[in-house]
DNA sequence: CTTTACTGTAACAAATAATATTACAGTTGA
DNA sequence: TCAACTGTAATATTATTTGTTACAGTAAAG
């Protein structure tokens, strides 16, 4: 894992995005233990463990902010019989679906994905 | 299905949102054949078919605008070896995961979900 | 046939969120 | 001690979402 050290500028160039945004998201990935970084000259970021030990489910968990099905904008009217219960039922549905999704992603590693690049 | 006719105002009141937004989304659901509506006085919207014939996968398909895993902001640098291929590989991954999700949602009906409300 | 209560849209405004930029302190290698 | 990085904050810009107003069209009910 000592290999493959890249600067945020380099990564930003590849995905056409601002380097600071890259560093921000990298900061998040670091907190989730997926990457590590080296400061100073010739510094950069690298995977915290080998790619074949990183599951896509881990990445998904680190990266996503909300449920795959969405969860925002929900302050229903508590006076409404349906509105009063909807969040509870949606949450349980979302969780169930999300579990399926995680199981699926948990079967794939980053190395597999990276292997598709020729 | 002639039953359960509701106005956009009524629905908007339940979910605490603007009636026009409700009508917009309803318009989308109508185009997907999930609801029908009646104009004029005492008009409103109702399910186009019985709730036990509506799969959650159908609703998901009608409602979602992007993949569950996200798909936006992707004009990678074509000069980058990775950037050049990333969309293709992400798409195929997303599709695979999305299929799993659809299968899961395809096993549930709206009636089942509605049945949870007491 | 006129009033009333709706739908269906469009056009525009306001609020919110995503992205970009600038700036700079801290770290490390040369 | 300079150069090339990270890390982070503050701020600006842009895009998206949500809300509002407006109004034509439709159907029921008086």
What is the tens place of the pLDDT at every residue in A90-101?
Answer: 989 999 999 999
Does A28 share its domain with A43? yes
> Looking at residue A7, which CATH number applies to its domain?
1.10.10.10
Q: How many domains does chain A have?
A: 2
Quick one: pLDDT at residue A93?
93
Quick one: pLDDT at residue B1?
43
Choose the closest CB to B77 out of A14, A74, A76.
A14
Quick one: pLDDT at residue B2?
39
Does B37 share its domain with B67? no
Cβ contact B85–A117 (<8 Å): yes
Whether the beta carbon of B53 falls within 7 A of nucleic chain C: the reply is no
Does B18 share its domain with B36? yes
- Per-residue pLDDT band for B17 (boundaries 50, 70, 90) equals very high
What is the tens place of the pLDDT at every residue in A1-42?
Answer: 446 799 999 999 999 999 999 999 999 999 999 999 999 999
Of B50, B44, B41, which is closest to residue B6 (Cα–Cα)?
B44
**What is the C-alpha end-to-end distance of chain A, expressed in Å?**
21
Does B60 share its domain with B27? no
What is the tens place of the pLDDT at every residue in B41-64?
Answer: 999 999 999 999 999 999 999 998
* Residue-number span of the structural domain to which B92 is assigned: 55-118
What is the tens place of the pLDDT at every residue in A43-62?
Answer: 999 999 999 999 999 999 99
Does A82 share its domain with A43? no
Whether the beta carbon of A26 falls within 7 A of nucleic chain D: the reply is yes
Residues with Cβ within 8 Å of residue A99, at least 6 apart in sequence: none
Does A39 share its domain with A73? no
Beta bridge partner(s), residue A6: A45
In chain B, which residues have their Cβ closer than 8 Å to the Cβ of A96? 104
Of B14, B18, B10, B68, which is closest to residue B42 (Cα–Cα)?
B10
Does B35 share its domain with B64? no
Does A29 share its domain with A67? no
Choose the closest CB to B97 out of A75, A76, A101.
A101
If you average pLDDT over each of A109-113, B68-72, B88-92, which comes out highest? A109-113
Residue with tokens 């493959």: A4
Structural contact between residues B108 and B52, judged by C-beta atoms closer than 8 angstroms: no
Quick one: pLDDT at residue B116?
95
Last residue of a domain, one of B9, B26, B49: B49
Does A82 share its domain with A38? no
Measured CA to CA, the distance from residue B62 to residue B66 in angstroms comes to: 11
What is the average per-residue pLDDT within B92-106? 94
Measured CA to CA, the distance from residue A79 to residue A66 in angstroms comes to: 26
Residue B3 has pLDDT above 70, yes or no: no
If you average pLDDT over each of A1-10, A75-84, A102-111, B59-68, which comes out highest? A102-111
Cβ contact B77–A16 (<8 Å): yes
Residue A76 has pLDDT above 90, yes or no: no
Does B60 share its domain with B110? yes
Alpha helices per DSSP H over A64-109:
81-105
- The number of angstroms, rounded, from the C-alpha of B16 to the middle of its chain's C-alpha atoms is 19
- Per-residue pLDDT band for A66 (boundaries 50, 70, 90) equals confident
Could you tell me what percent of chain B has a pLDDT over 90? 71
Mean pLDDT of chain B: 90
Does A39 share its domain with A66? no
Does A61 share its domain with A44? no
Nearest-10 crossing angle of helices B8-15, A81-105: 70
């Amino acid at each position: 894992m000592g290999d493959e050290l890249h600067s945020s500028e380099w990564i930003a160039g590849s995905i056409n995005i601002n380097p600071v945004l890259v560093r921000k998201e990298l900061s998040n990935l670091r907190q989730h233990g997926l990457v590590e970084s080296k400061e100073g000259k010739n510094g950069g970021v690298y995977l915290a463990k080998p790619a074949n030990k990183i599951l896509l489910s881990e990445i998904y968990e680190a990266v996503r902010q909300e449920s795959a099905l969405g969860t925002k904008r929900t302050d229903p009217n508590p006076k409404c019989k349906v509105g009063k219960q909807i969040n509870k039922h949606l949450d349980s549905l979302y969780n169930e679906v999300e579990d399926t999704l995680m199981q699926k992603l948990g079967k794939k590693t980053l190395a597999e994905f990276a292997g598709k690049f020729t």
